[in-house]
Homo-oligomer: A and B are copies of this chain.
């Protein structure tokens, strides 16, 4: 059971921005720190900007930052906003209506209930809960490690 890479990158981008609140951060920097594709990350950042999680500043010296206080960013909400498919099993895909069980399928509602429990657990976390307190020794240590 895995979240999409898209959601994974979105969460890690927000975590990085939550650690670096005093400056603008670029896509190549995040891609380098995490060792992930800048191309793929660009699409993630575009979505996060559309959804009001990050704001971007264009031009020389530009980059991105959180568009709102980290405390207002709920992790369950981010997953809902970035996972395109919460169908949980392929057989419920709207593109795949072949399963003859579907009209009587209780598995569908059981898996739906389970994914709601998954999200409800993440709803208890806000972005700062995933990070050491800003400007703490631990956050400085983490930033130093991230910067290599």
Interface residues in A101-134 by Cβ distance below 8 A to B read: 101, 103-107, 110-111, 113-122, 125, 129-132
Closest to A93 in B: B2
Find out whether the CB atom of B90 lies under 8 angstroms from the CB atom of A8.
yes
Give A48 Cβ to nearest chain B Cβ, in Å.
16
Find out whether the CB atom of B107 lies under 8 angstroms from the CB atom of A11.
yes
Cβ contacts under 8 Å, A104 to chain B: 132, 138, 142
With contacts A1-B1, A1-B88, A104-B142 known, what are 7 further pairs, Cβ within 8 A? Answer: A1-B7, A1-B85, A3-B89, A12-B101, A114-B117, A117-B120, A118-B118
The contact of A110 among B34, B105, B110, B121, by CB within 8 Å, is B121
